[in-house]
Amino acid sequence: MADDRSAVRLLIKGRVQGVGYRDWTRAKAKALGLDGWVRNLATGEVEAVVAGRPAVLERLIADCRIGPPSARVSDVEVTDAEPPPPGFRRLPTL
C-alpha cells in the first residue's frame, strides 16, 4: 500500500441492519475508489474496513454517520486497521 493511503475499521451503531446499509456502504466506497469490506455483526452493528487516501476516507466516514435514508445511525467508532485486499465486497454476517 502506498504511503498516501491508510486503513480504518468502522463500527456503525444504531438502526443499521435491515435498511440496506451494507449495500449502500459498498456503493459509496466503490464510487470513492476505496478498498475494503462491510458486514453485519450478530450484535446489531455494521462493521467495515476501508482503505484509501485519508481525505477520501474522511468523506466516507462522514457519509456513514448519516447512512441510507432508512437508517438511524447513533455512533460510528473509527479505529486504525490493517489494509484489506483490493476491491470492495460485502461479507456474510459474523
Catalytic residue (choose from 5, 9, 26, 40):
40
Does 40 participate in catalysis according to the annotation?
yes
DSSP 3-state of 29: helix
Catalytic residue (choose from 9, 15, 22, 90):
22
Does 89 participate in catalysis according to the annotation?
no
Sign for the pseudo-dihedral over CA of 31, 65, 23, 70: negative
Q: Could you tell me if 9 and 81 are in contact, meaning their C-beta atoms sit under 8 angstroms apart?
A: yes
Residues marked as catalytic: 22, 40
